[in-house]
Amino acid sequence: MRVLVTGGAGFIGSHVVRALEAHGHEPVVYDVRADPAADVRSPTAVRRALTGADAVCHQAAMVGLGAGFADAADYVSHNDLGTAVLLTAMAEAGVGRLVLAGSMVVYGEGHYACARHGVVRPGPRTVADLDAGRFEPPCPVCGAALSPGLVGEDAPVDPRNVYATTKLTQEHLAAAWARATGGRAVSLRYHNVYGPGMPRDTPYAGVASFFRSALARGESPRVFEDGRQRRDFIHVRDVAAANVAALEAGSRDGALTAYNTGSGEVHTVGEMAGALASAYGGPEPVVTGEYRLGDVRHITADSARLRAELGWKAGVGFEEGMREFALAGMREA
């Protein structure tokens, strides 16, 4: 299969390209890093790149928190306009298979249950609570403590920042394309991806990269809140394998199918910082109590659907992956 990989020179995209090659496919890299003319917002360039393609793996995006609105137009332009241009060109070229790099950020907060009121959906955390160190969202009905759990694909979506909003819009655009063309679309809702090649020292790097960069400077990783935020950290090679599985399996014609793409292991941000520091040889993390207003408290995936329907499962364990990531940082420092 000839597969156009947008963002194919980036962190996740480059691993997808290698995984496709390993499975006998022909990836075509389309990325402004490799060619300044390869802008996904350029109809002419995209149409040219789609020549002979059987499928598209759409990884290109502007990433990061996007908590404010200063760069909202850039997020919408790169992520949503770019996706619309790509899908239009695919419809014109008759390319009917798409795998989209989705994100768990579309859910907002994760799954919560109250002992008295069952499953509830807490609203955004207030500045007053965060300033006072009250990081756990309370039950919106009675104010009691909540128990976090795994979020499934059928959970209501509630994007909490600009980036999250654009990722959900990408899914809506892909679903509309699939209905209009009879195409097959899959959105892989990535959880916290880490691994070799992860961007470093930029505003758009992930938290694992920030921690590793601090260790390389001989500084303690600075852990926000109380470090007990629950996340699902998934290795980039497992994400790449999920993309290959989705491309090979396809999906329902004329529809978009979303799959949570997580390791299935729940760890806290503090645990992740500690694992990196231990593998790196210190210094130990420091819990700061600081916060970012756009962050959610807990978000962890139920990836059972992906395992059941596509036969995929994560192969890199947390300790193994963090150790590899830390040691790679030592070599790069």
DSSP secondary structure, 300-331, as one string: -B--HHHHHHH-----S-HHHHHHHHHHHHHH
Give the pair of three-digit tokens for residue 104.
């768990």
Return phi, psi of residue 237, to 5°: -65, -35
CB 232 within 8 A of CB 268: no
Catalytic residue ranges: 163
How long a stretch of residues is the chain? 333
| Alpha helices (H) in the chain, listed in sequence order | 11-22, 43-49, 72-75, 82-93, 127-131, 162-181, 207-216, 236-249, 269-280, 304-310, 318-332
CA distance linking residue 60 with residue 101, whole number of Å: 8
Cβ atoms of residues 257 and 186 within 8 Å: yes
